[in-house]
Amino acid sequence: MKEQKHLRRLQDQHNKQQQELKRSRSQTEKQIELPEFLPDDIMTDIQTLGVNDEYTEKKNTYKKFDDEKDIRALKIEKLKALKKSRSAAIQKGPVRVQVHTTINKKQVPMAERKIVGSRDKWLHRKSLNRK
């Protein structure tokens, strides 16, 4: 019992020393200043060129429409294409086959209750709980 306490004290002391070393290293790293890599001429060049440089200008990535009709027509067109792609499913025996178009590659097929239910039954079966 006394040996275990003694060993534990030694471990605690060793851990404290390591933590102190780590703290001292982090403090010395914070105190080290980086040298100036850029000459002073660059700052004057930037000030003389001004803020309106071609690299600093923000470019618009959004489409601007003149009318709300254009926006509405675009939304209706997308919805029609989506509806058409969803209705393009063919019944092949007991399986419903649907081919995705390149409209939206991230589109997931619609979940069917029968398939989801059978999957859940399989994943949550009683035999998994046995050892």
pLDDT per residue over 61-95, tens digit each? Answer: 676 666 677 788 888 988 888 777 777 777 778 88
pLDDT at 75: 87
- Nearby residues of 81 by Cβ (< 8 Å), 6 or more positions away: 101, 103
In angstroms, the first-to-last Cα distance of the chain is 38
- Nearby residues of 102 by Cβ (< 8 Å), 6 or more positions away: none
What is the model's pTM? 0.24
Q: Which residues of the chain have pLDDT under 70?
A: 31-43, 45-61, 63-67, 99-107, 131
- Nearby residues of 104 by Cβ (< 8 Å), 6 or more positions away: 82
Place of tokens 């390591």: 18
pLDDT at 74: 84
- Give the residue among 106, 63, 57, 103 at the shortest CA–CA distance from 79: 103
